[in-house]
Structure formats: structure tokens, C-alpha cells
Amino acid sequence: MTVPRRLLLAAPAALTARRAAAREAVDMLLVLAMDASGSIGEDEFRLQREGYAEALTHPQVVAAIRSKPRGAMAIAMIEWGSPGGSQTIVDWQRVHDLGSAQAIADALLGAPRTQQTYNAIGDAIHHASHLLREGPFHAEQMVIDVSGDGPDMRSMRPAPVARDIVVRRGMVVNALAISGSGQVTRAGETLEEHYRRDVMGGPGAFVITAESRRDIARALRAKLIREMA
């Protein structure tokens, strides 16, 4: 018996709807995409992770999460660098209070560093988008946070292309540019300008600059609070 074409087309949509309904609803899904490329030394790498852990457990960030209608968000973390080599280092966790925020911070601090070269931001965005679509949580607000100290250089899927694809899927890409005062790319633009043009995208998207890795905690804290608002 031939199945009508309209039923064949409706089946995937119905399956997607059932999967979404089965997932736990939270206020926001957030993928933190951290730079682990070869340009980052071990001391800088440690400062970066400690900055993320400090920001995630800050009382203002926890209060911002709890202030939302469901009082919870889901966070996953990836490291990027090599073309096609982005890796998930902390899988999805529900964050709703200081204890759960501390748990994900501890998981981050305890995760081994992945082996990365440089510098494929577009592939990191692509990897993050799959996490957002396939994870165990559901939210209308889906955000990818890309942090890095250099421009997109070697992506299999260039950053503007990857960014445009995920924006069409209803995701937002924000960026944290880790850049010393006055530092410019080979194209003669600041890293913030590069991220603003080629990385960020979606409604309300923005770029924040950290002047150094010691400044990451402050910059990321401000970014998380702004996203939750």
C-alpha cells in the first residue's frame, strides 16, 4: 500500500514534537564554547577555566537564573581549536541554585584539557548547535557563547556561514573577545570588531571584551547576567 506523501512529510515533524515534549523545560539552553587552541599556554588555560568557574558560581549569576519563570537553565561546555575537532568537556547539566552551579564549575575544573590546534570558530558553532538540538532539555532561548583570543582562521565551515545557519534555526551566538588593549588581527581590526562581524548573530546578540584572561570572570559574569535578562 502506498503511503500518502503528506503523511510521510508529517511523520518527522510529529517525531520532533514528541521528542521536544519529552525533554525537561528550562528557561535557557547555553553552550559555553571555550578556546583551547594552541595559542593558549597552560597558565592562561588555567586562568580561563578558573574565570568560568568563578562566573558561574557568582551570587549575581545564580540570582539571575533563579529570577526566571522556571528558575533553571541547562549548560553544556565545549572546547574548540582544531578544524572539526571541537569536543564536549562537560555535558548538559541543569543549573538552578548555588549547589548545581558549583557542581558544573567543579566538573569544568576537573575535566582534562583536549588536544587542539587552531583556530576553527565556525566548527565550534556547528558542534554547539548539535548539542542544543539533541540534548535532554528544551527551551525557547538557545544561546551559544564563543570565547577566544583570535579570529576564525581554519574552519571547515567558516564562522559567518555557521553563524547564519544556527541563527536561522532560532539560536543566538554571543561572543567574548579575550584581547589585550590595542591588539588587532592581521586584517587590522580589533578582535571585538571581527567577532561582531563574523561570529555574533541573532536577536539581541552582542560581544563583550575581556582585556586579559584574568578579566574573564568579570566579563563572563556580565555576559551571563545580560543573557538571562
Domains, in order of start, for the chain: 23-228 (3.40.50.410)
Q: Which helix (H) or strand (E) holds 4?
A: none
Predicted local distance difference test score (pLDDT) of residue 203: 96
Handedness of CA 40, 44, 46, 51 (dihedral sign): negative
Predicted local distance difference test score (pLDDT) of residue 180: 65
Query: Tens digit of pLDDT for each residue in 146-158?
Result: 999 889 988 999 9
DSSP state of 213: G
Cis peptide before 174 (omega within 30 of 0): no
Q: Which of 51, 155, 65 is nearest to 101 (CA)?
A: 65
Between 180 and 20, the more confident residue is 180
CA triple 89-44-42, angle to 5 deg: 70
- Given a cut of 70, whether residue 90 has pLDDT beyond it is yes
pLDDT band at 15 (very low <50, low <70, confident <90, very high): very low
| pTM (2 d.p.) | 0.88
Q: Which three cell numbers stand for residue 218?
A: 568579570
| Beta strands 141-148; 28-35: pairing state | parallel
